[in-house]
Structures are given as C-alpha cells and as structure tokens.
Amino acid sequence: MAQNLVGEYLRARREQVRPADVGITVTSSRRVAGLRRDELAMLAGISTEYYTRLEQGRDRHPSAQVLDAVARALGLDTASAAHLHDLADPAPRRRRAPR
C-alpha cells in the first residue's frame, strides 16, 4: 500500500493551527487539536469532501491552485508550501537503462 505523505503532512499541519489563529471563535469543547477538516476546507475555499479525500489519499493529483489555497489556509511559509507541492507531485522516477 502506498504511503499517503500528503495526507500525513496536511493532518500534522492542521493540528498545529489553533482556530483563534485564523479568526474562528470556539464556543464549545473540541475533539480535535487544531482546525477541523471543515474549517480548513472553508478557509481554503474547497469542499469538505474534497479536502477529506486529499487527507485520506483518495485524490492523489490535486491542482497547484488547490495546494496553494490549502497552504494559505494553513499559514504555511514559502518553504513549507513548496514541500507540500513536492509531496503532491514528486519527481518522476528514473528508469534504469537496459543492459
């Protein structure tokens, strides 16, 4: 089974963002550390279902625009956003030359 590096990275970063950091008022107790999936999706301007597919590894080819929107919603710096793009679109593997 292939690793879901994008999903693991998104989950880890989402857990680090407090709702108050992005202007979300918390009125009750929360079961998750950081932002909920629906909150991040709303901030990124994508559907909760699509964000969930990204995190679960069911959509392995997000567009650069979606990755940029998610990176902005998470408050990622340039290097972290570039890392997210690299995880989503790794360099193609080189084929070995036949002998």
**Tens digit of each residue's pLDDT (9 = 90 or more) over 28-40:** 788 887 999 999 9
**Tens digit of each residue's pLDDT (9 = 90 or more) over 39-66:** 999 999 999 999 999 999 998 889 999 9
DSSP classification of residue 93: P
List the structure tokens of 56. 């679960």
**Tens digit of each residue's pLDDT (9 = 90 or more) over 67-88:** 999 999 999 999 999 999 999 9
Separation CA 61–CA 68 (nearest Å): 13
Output phi, psi for 17, to 5 deg: -95, 120
| Class of domain 5-88 as given by CATH | mainly alpha
- How open is the CA angle 89-91-95, to the nearest 5 degrees? 135
